[in-house]
Structure 1
Amino acid sequence: MDFGASPWVTYSTIFALFLAIIVRAMTNHRRRRPNLIGALPHRSIHELSKKYGPLMKLQFGSFPVVVGSSVSMARLFLKTHDPAFAGRPKTAAGNYTAYNYSDITWSQYGPYWRQARKMCITELFSPRSLDSYEHIRSAEIRRLLRSLFDAAGRPLLLKDHLTTLSLSVISRMVLGRRYLDPTAEDQAAPPPPVSTEEFKRMLDELFLLNGVLNIGDSIPWLNFLDLQGYIRRMKAVGKTLDRFMEHVLDEHIARRVKEGENFSPRDMVDVLIQFAENPTLNVKLNKSSLKAFSKDLIAGGTESSAVTVEWAIAELLRKPDIMKKAAEELDRVIGRERWVEEKSLQDLPYIEAIMKETMRLHPVVPMLVPRQAREDVVIDGYDIPAGSRILVNTFTISRDPSIWEEPDEFRPERFLGREMDVKGHDFELLPFGSGRRMCPGYTLGLRVIQSSIANILHGFSWRLPDGVKAEELNMDEIFGLSNPKKVPLVAVAEPRLPIQIYNMSS
């Protein structure tokens, strides 16, 4: 009897390898090809919606994908039938970068997710909690302004400064100290297992991989081949992330044990640990849950603000007259002898309009995180079967000429005197989504984004490096879970306030 491989196994292996070679060649081929979905899926689907309308069904491998690309469709998916579409598809990203769907973004709709959402609303992002951390945000923005002042007159990579700001704010609020940019008082603590630059690269990779169209997510039986190499990268970034989160939790749990009944939360991880110890929880939280929630807080809070502020300054460099109007408002309301505090933001409608216009033209998440139908639903007369994946293309909504005059133009004035918020109530503008699964940390994001834009414009005049014309500025984006600039912005900052204003301690 021959105990070698059967012909079926041999043929299957050969077929799988042959298929892998063909698909990989198609994926990597650089010549133009007639694919409906290109490297920027939100733009491809935008073009399709202009031809086929605001409600489309696409077929991604084994799964039907229903796309809503209008205000009315967004309202039906995210409000009218919100519970029916509150599910999440199980993707490789959710598995390998979110502790097997344990975070808030990728966890399935149910008791676990509802408990996590309640924790965010009542504990982590309540107005009381955010107000208690205002001194941290203020201090870190001062550090940003000082770093820009030190680099004044020279071309600088703005995203680096903005990411450092975001990481420092989030690190101090969530983790209790600057893990990745320590000050003297932090030096006594054990260093984290990743460097600052490694952590920044990890965050960029995390957002890219959580938004890619992985072939195995659409054709599950091909997943083991990892035809695009995405799963390998997801596993690698997941391991790096886990090393860091283990370090953080071990430190916090050790302090919790040491202090015993005298334990008092100092940061959001402490709040999470205390929450997990509550004996009345409907669903018990384990260490993976705590790491997954902490990852959401760090990644979400860092990426959205840095990306949005970079886009804002890039647009303003192309429209100096708008930057001039912003400076005039700041001088009139704030004066030239102080920085902008959060309490003053409500008195700066033009700065708020710049923020909203940036979020309209460059939504951080151009297609909201995919949802999944939990039951059969009829939408606009069409049957949407349970299990269908749902995409809401905010990129198309924000460019709808029936809503926005000259939709491709950066015009903050369109928001002056127009009652429209970015908190999920007005479906014309949904940078954070809407309904049950909208971003729970949007209130923090708004504070950091608006305060950053206001202070950056108040403290500095901005220009492009010598020899670079505004019309030459690259405004292409990269598609992922977020939508950053493809070519990072390089600009020159020149101080515009009295010199003593910049003499700030960190």
Structure 2
Amino acid sequence: MAAEGIKKVPRMKMGSQGLEVSAQGLGCMGMSAFYGPPKPDDDMIKLIHHSINSGITFLDTSDIYGPYTNEILIGKALKGETRERVELATKFGINASADGKIEIIGDPCYVRASCEASLKRLDVNCINLYYQHRIDTHIPIEITMGELKKLVEEGKIKYIGLSEASASTIRRAHEVHPVTAVQLEWSLWSRDVEEEIIPICRELGIGIVAYSPLGKGFLSSGPKLLEDLSNEDFRKHIPRFQAENLEHNKILYERICQMATKKEMYAISTSLSVVELIDYMLHLPLLGTTKIKNLEQNIEALYIKLTTEDMVELESIASADAVKGERDASSASTYKNSDTPLLSTWNACVDELKDVIWRIMNEVGKINLVNIDFQGIKCRATIHIGKLFELFDGWINERLEEKRRGCCEKSDVLEVLLNAENTEEINQNHIKSMLLLFLVLVTSRIQCMVNWENYKMFEDLFIGGIDTTTNTLEWAMSETLRQPEIMKKAQAELAEVVGKGKSIEEDDVFRLPYLQFIVNETLRMHPQAPFLIPRRVDNDGSLVLVNVWAIGRDSTFWEEPLIFKPERFKSLELDVPGKGFELIPFGAGRIICPGLPVALRMVHVMLGSMLNSFNWKLEARSKLSSRGIKKLPPGPSPWPIIGNLHLLGAKPHVSLANLAKTYGPIMSLKIGQVRVVVISSSIMAKQVLKKQDLAFSSRFIPKVVQAQNYWDFSVVWLPVCPQWRTIKRILNTNIFSYKRLDANQHLRSQKVKELIAYCEKCSQQGEALNVGHVAFKTIINMLSNTLFSKDLVDHLSNSKVELKDAIFGIIHEAGKINLMDFFPILEKQLEEKKMNHDEKSDVLEAILNHSAQNPKEIDQNHIKSMFLDLIVGGTDTSTITLEWAMAEILRQPEIMKKAQAELAQVIGKGKPIEEVDVSRLPYLQFIIKETLRMHPPSPFLVPRRVDQDVELCDYIIPKGSLVLVNAWAIGRDSTFWEDPLVFKPERFQSLELDVQGKDFELIPFGVGRRICPGLPLALRMVPVMLGSMLNSFNWKLESGIEPKDLDMNEKFGFITPKAHPLLAIPSPL
């Protein structure tokens, strides 16, 4: 099968952004580093030219190879016209310090500096593909990608790539700027990336550059490879190459060689055919070699085509357990440890900083009862100041690192101080002290609390400067918004002096008297601190407080002191630098606030710019007076950044139910930065889901769902709109109408018979069966037959067990949804239905007919989304309900006896049950209701969002809030349910409640316009399955397990299945 002569390498599209490359790449790392000593430059340049002439024009290098020498080598090889013939890829992100320590760096300054340096070493104007070589796990990927995006816009790089990045990191990066390629190790030797990385790249249209496709040379040479490795070769330290693993790993090589011999081709060719294991068109193998002979052999492998039988054999050879040992040293950075901080936490540093500053100011302002600190003021202030010190240390160290790497200098105070370091007058401790003092107002009080002398200076001005300026600006805007005529006067002055909409400079302020009057009046009525910094009399230790708040409102001097009137300063020659003692918000004399000049510049320019650029108004719910403002529902106080996240625990539905006992049935929390309102009683649920249904009908849509546009077609996620109404109408009339469900009832009945036949087989063999698995298989086949007249799984085969995991995985991942990835049969079914005109009574037939008649109303995207909603939503809820029902019955055998007695009387012992029989089996229905009460499939109804402020029971629910209805808590509310923690089906004999949304005490499927559309089908399937199992067999737990010992723990997620599978043994009645 070997090719005759060397053929040229074909071309291919890399990713979906337009990059065209050769179908095989040349990895240049081994020419300069890692694989032993560097090779002669002349030989390697000849190899590169031979590669280009053979059609391998994609060249891969990195700044760390050498380090740096590999890029210089490539630059030499590409002199002249050769550069225009190649696609050049290089990387940044791995830095070798002077002492040999390896660092992973991804901050913007380093990204830009690395790119500039690579351009010089390569002697090119632009890099075709620029990778982040390894992911800096200390910096959000969005920050790094933001700088790379700028380099693209500047024309310094054309396309962006990532190397060894996790699925979540890839998705987040792609949202900032399209990622063209992901480089990772992928071969018959390393297939772990097929689980998450390959699917995410396929979904996003990202190309794969597979390095080490020959398993770092092992798949081409086998164990003898180790005999030729030099002491400098890094492969000697890889676990897979160690003696304890080599004996096992050589089996893979030997089996590949056997297959290659049989097929008359090279083992290399066989190994490279891994690409065909997954039908992925954007894959490019990157082969490193230093020999022309090997290069030609690699090219030849591109023309080897394997048959289906070959692929099956190769798949069996390269199974998951074919290789022992990790592919990299334990300290290596790979996709498995490449998740970065969320951008929200990065941005939250601002909020955290403001919070820390506020807390320090708050603690400083408290009266400390005694020096032993009974109130904990000193302790708390020490913690808050410590947090601030950590931030300052981080900033200083970051700047020192930037200076070490030669980044451009900045003109700020920190740069000036660092440049002055190492003189006799100043060292780094002095720098920190001066920076601290440069930024806070409260030196004397902080000195009493903490003896960190080296930090007082920087901290003082930082806290005072930021917090006081922020407060002044906020108060000025508040007063301006209360009196719109003040805004008009200020805007008129700004338009006349500066020009409407034009930017304001600090030099303009002295020409804007009315703007200065507004700031002065703000500082009079709202000084940043009510007291100046306390002073002490040294003779007797007396404490002296100056009440600037009272001075600013002293009616003996100020006319109408409680009215905000900037005009008063026209006739008063007062200012705030401490000359007039009627207005001293910043103090006076020798200890006046040192940051006053900066503060006065900032406040005036910021306020003026805001007023000169925009008109301002209060948002809809705001009032011009504090009277009548609605408050948020009660709830626990949130922490900075994380909010109340720490209160949720492992089972949030249980934690929130317990919190509701303290804060009430309507409760407000902050989860991170999101306001969450939790409803925990039937009365409140009725308010939200019925009386104000429309106000609460929007969905809170996860970002990943938005990213894939799945929500654009889904009845679950769409807002209430014409499209949603159309889909809902189609579901109600074409899928879940009584007529339609009755028409395909025989299909579901057949699936129940197959379930009983499987249970009979287990009964005869005395085997325990996994109730959840058999329930899932039956339900998925019921649904698939209802939808498109096909089975998806076989009870007698384990080949499709992973489908259950896939569906549950979809739910737990909450948005990693690609319908055709999990159900490729659907695509086939859609095509078959179009080609085959045989009429069937399934849903797909009805939907396709409707689509043909109403093409503008529904298309194939809608159909696939409907199926996704039905299959994912239908299988998990019904499977969980059946498993929980059987678990509760097995815990209380007397319930089983009652149900079997009813079934024997109404249906006949051992006879099949039809859907029409369920209405005559009240006790069976009671069991289902009680199961749904205690174990709703999802503890919370699908989250809702309010699109505008909503008043609810004297509370305000702010716009954008997430609203959770805790169905789990409502089902266990002791104010309605007697003995709510006891499984007691009999309770429904006296309670005329159902689960169809009429009774708010039992709402596992929701209510109103947002009720689960598949409810009619679920209420047919579950009772028939449960009744059939109970009417055909007696059931008991595995031997040795007593009913009282059955584990009833649940596993929290979007759904709440049993934490451990229910294993039960059927026996003849």
The TM-score normalised by the length of structure 1 is: 0.82
Q: Which stretch of the first structure deviates more once superposed, 391-400 or 368-377?
A: 368-377
- Aligned residue pair count: 445
- Two-structure CA RMSD over aligned residues (Å): 2.9
How far is 1:23 from its partner? 7.6
The alpha-carbon distance between structure 1 residues 196 and 280, as it changes in their structure 2 partners (threshold 3 A), is closer
The DSSP-based 3-state class of the residue aligned with 1:83 is: coil
**Contact 1:174 1:267 (8 Å CA) reproduced:** yes
The alpha-carbon distance between structure 1 residues 87 and 481, as it changes in their structure 2 partners (threshold 3 A), is same
1:161 to 774, 792, 807: 774
Aligned residue for 2:397?
A: none
Q: Distance in 1 between matches of 2:915 and 2:108?
A: 70
Alignment of 1:223-372 (within 5 A): 234=816, 240-241=821-822, 243-255=824-836, 259=837, 264=839, 266-279=841-854, 281=856, 284-336=857-909, 338-372=911-945
Residue 942 of structure 2 aligns to which amino acid in structure 1? V
Q: Distance in 1 between matches of 2:954 and 2:695?
A: 16
Q: Which stretch of the first structure deviates more once superposed, 375-384 or 434-443?
A: 375-384
Aligned residue for 1:186?
A: none
Q: Distance in 2 between matches of 1:206 and 1:427?
A: 29
The alpha-carbon distance between structure 1 residues 109 and 458, as it changes in their structure 2 partners (threshold 3 A), is same
Q: Distance in 1 between matches of 2:819 and 2:750?
A: 31
| % identity of equivalent residues | 35
**Contact 1:88 1:109 (8 Å CA) reproduced:** no
Residue 54 of structure 1 aligns to which amino acid in structure 2? P
Q: Distance in 1 between matches of 2:951 and 2:916?
A: 45
The DSSP-based 3-state class of the residue aligned with 1:482 is: coil
The DSSP-based 3-state class of the residue aligned with 1:340 is: coil
Aligned residue for 2:954?
A: 381
Aligned residue for 2:109?
A: 7
How far is 1:285 from its partner? 2.9
**Contact 1:331 1:458 (8 Å CA) reproduced:** yes
Aligned residue for 2:971?
A: 398
The alpha-carbon distance between structure 1 residues 34 and 349, as it changes in their structure 2 partners (threshold 3 A), is same
Q: Distance in 1 between matches of 2:984 and 2:954?
A: 37
How far is 1:133 from its partner? 1.4
Alignment of 1:47-62 (within 5 A): 47-62=658-673
Q: Which stretch of the first structure deviates more once superposed, 422-431 or 136-145?
A: 136-145
Residue 334 of structure 1 aligns to which amino acid in structure 2? I
2:1062 to 489, 496, 499: 489
Aligned residue for 2:806?
A: 202
Aligned residue for 1:44?
A: 655
Q: Which stretch of the first structure deviates more once superposed, 92-101 or 36-45?
A: 92-101
How far is 1:265 from its partner? 5.0
The DSSP-based 3-state class of the residue aligned with 2:938 is: coil
The alpha-carbon distance between structure 1 residues 96 and 325, as it changes in their structure 2 partners (threshold 3 A), is farther
**Contact 1:99 1:289 (8 Å CA) reproduced:** no
Aligned residue for 1:70?
A: 681
The alpha-carbon distance between structure 1 residues 10 and 479, as it changes in their structure 2 partners (threshold 3 A), is farther
**Contact 2:1033 2:1066 (8 Å CA) reproduced:** yes
The DSSP-based 3-state class of the residue aligned with 2:699 is: coil
The alpha-carbon distance between structure 1 residues 96 and 146, as it changes in their structure 2 partners (threshold 3 A), is farther
How far is 1:100 from its partner? 4.3
Q: Distance in 2 between matches of 1:433 and 1:34?
A: 25
2:739 to 113, 117, 128: 128
How far is 1:9 from its partner? 6.7
How far is 1:303 from its partner? 1.7
**Contact 1:249 1:291 (8 Å CA) reproduced:** no
The alpha-carbon distance between structure 1 residues 6 and 360, as it changes in their structure 2 partners (threshold 3 A), is closer
Q: Distance in 1 between matches of 2:1052 and 2:808?
A: 11
How far is 1:202 from its partner? 1.1
The DSSP-based 3-state class of the residue aligned with 1:35 is: helix
1:16 to 120, 125, 140: 140
2:558 equivalent to 1:434? no
Q: Distance in 2 between matches of 1:242 and 1:333?
A: 40
| Offset from partner CA, 1:150-174 (integer Å, 9 cap, x none) | 1012211111111111011111110
Q: Distance in 2 between matches of 1:337 and 1:35?
A: 52
**Contact 2:653 2:968 (8 Å CA) reproduced:** yes
How far is 1:63 from its partner? 2.1
Q: Which stretch of the first structure deviates more once superposed, 479-488 or 392-401?
A: 479-488
| Offset from partner CA, 1:474-495 (integer Å, 9 cap, x none) | 1111222222111010011112
Q: Distance in 1 between matches of 2:841 and 2:709?
A: 25
Q: Distance in 1 between matches of 2:795 and 2:756?
A: 18
The alpha-carbon distance between structure 1 residues 337 and 7, as it changes in their structure 2 partners (threshold 3 A), is closer
Aligned residue for 1:418?
A: 991
How far is 1:326 from its partner? 1.1
| Offset from partner CA, 1:289-338 (integer Å, 9 cap, x none) | 21111111222222221110110010011101111111111122222252
| Offset from partner CA, 1:124-164 (integer Å, 9 cap, x none) | 10011111111112111111011001101221111111111
The DSSP-based 3-state class of the residue aligned with 1:492 is: strand
Q: Distance in 2 between matches of 1:266 and 1:319?
A: 41
How far is 1:21 from its partner? 5.8
Q: Distance in 1 between matches of 2:1036 and 2:704?
A: 39
Q: Distance in 2 between matches of 1:306 and 1:294?
A: 17
The alpha-carbon distance between structure 1 residues 254 and 34, as it changes in their structure 2 partners (threshold 3 A), is closer
2:672 equivalent to 1:91? no
Q: Distance in 2 between matches of 1:142 and 1:342?
A: 13
Greater radius of gyration (CA): 2
The alpha-carbon distance between structure 1 residues 247 and 366, as it changes in their structure 2 partners (threshold 3 A), is same
Residue 173 of structure 1 aligns to which amino acid in structure 2? T
Higher normalized contact order (CA 8 Å, seq sep 6+, divided by chain length) = 1
Aligned residue for 2:794?
A: 181
Q: Which stretch of the first structure deviates more once superposed, 421-430 or 135-144?
A: 135-144
Aligned residue for 1:30?
A: none
Q: Distance in 2 between matches of 1:253 and 1:384?
A: 49
The DSSP-based 3-state class of the residue aligned with 1:449 is: helix
Q: Distance in 1 between matches of 2:720 and 2:112?
A: 42
How far is 1:80 from its partner? 0.5
Q: Distance in 2 between matches of 1:98 and 1:78?
A: 26
Q: Distance in 1 between matches of 2:111 and 2:964?
A: 39
The DSSP-based 3-state class of the residue aligned with 1:420 is: coil
Q: Distance in 2 between matches of 1:423 and 1:448?
A: 15
Residue 703 of structure 2 aligns to which amino acid in structure 1? A
The alpha-carbon distance between structure 1 residues 327 and 266, as it changes in their structure 2 partners (threshold 3 A), is closer
The alpha-carbon distance between structure 1 residues 132 and 295, as it changes in their structure 2 partners (threshold 3 A), is same
How far is 1:274 from its partner? 2.2
Residue 16 of structure 1 aligns to which amino acid in structure 2? P
| Offset from partner CA, 1:365-406 (integer Å, 9 cap, x none) | 110010111332211111112322111001110111111111
The TM-score normalised by the length of structure 2 is: 0.40
Question: Where in structure 1 are there 5+ consecutive unaligned residues?
Answer: 27-32, 184-193, 211-230, 497-506
**Contact 1:93 1:209 (8 Å CA) reproduced:** no
Aligned residue for 1:502?
A: none
**Contact 2:744 2:841 (8 Å CA) reproduced:** no
2:750 equivalent to 1:139? yes
**Contact 2:645 2:670 (8 Å CA) reproduced:** no
The alpha-carbon distance between structure 1 residues 205 and 359, as it changes in their structure 2 partners (threshold 3 A), is same
How far is 1:355 from its partner? 0.6
How far is 1:346 from its partner? 1.3
